[in-house]
Structure 1
Amino acid sequence: MKTIEDLKNIKKATFQRVNQGTNRKTTRIVVGMATCGLAAGAEPVYDAIVDEVNKLGLTNVVVVKTGCIGVCRLEPIVEIIKPGEEKVTYVNMSPYKARRVIASHVLVGAVMKDYTIHVVQGKILNDYKIESD
């Protein structure tokens, strides 16, 4: 059985690894895995992301699951938060799109605007229109 002190240490270590705030050193990839995301295919998207991150040997990337991101009609949703940059939200993801996003955005820094719905400094990067692969 864990003590309260053990749980506090786990919380602190996890917080430092995942929520680094303004001192973030790793790229954080968040996949919406609420009921709506799972029904839309978020699990294969998550698996493709983890596989691609491992295949590319990206050690400075943390992939996490979260609950509802809030735009159910655009699920599966993936958010990428890179150090020193604004969050980019990718929508209507598929395993194929997820692998492309990792290779383009995470690996070389090129946002795939066709897959996004995101506002930067008051401007919409892309007025996303749902399309198939």
Structure 2
Amino acid sequence: MRDQKRGADEQPRRRGQGELETQVLAALRQASGPATAAWVQERLGGDLAYTTVMTILTRLHAKGAVARERAGRSFQWTPVADEAGLAALRMRRVLDAEADREAVLASFVTTLSPGDERLLRDLLAQAPGEGED
């Protein structure tokens, strides 16, 4: 009976893929300097286990999205990437996992809206060229 009467304001148990990473990164960006996992846990409302916060921070570190510095027996964490940077890291990881990069990129580009395609073309035109003739 209790499960049938979940409150409207009660949060779902499962979060979307990458949502926790985004929330942890946003909390770190609010810090005035390096922050501990306990500080991040508190900022996220405390409903997450400390070990979950540590797992997310460790994953973000492996992705290059945060830096860590030893502070006694634990670490202090600093954001290196913003939310857009984190999304770009995810996209890069997916691309790096595929054997046919050209096919993946071609498929991606064909699904872009005309406005996004123009934006991508503009960004590529502004990027420093590698091996230009």
Task: State the TM-score, normalized to the length of structure 1.
Answer: 0.28
Task: State the TM-score, normalized to the length of structure 2.
Answer: 0.28
More strand by percentage: 1
Of structures 1 and 2, the one scoring higher in RCO (CA 8 A, sep 6+) is: 1
Q: Which has the larger radius of gyration?
A: 2
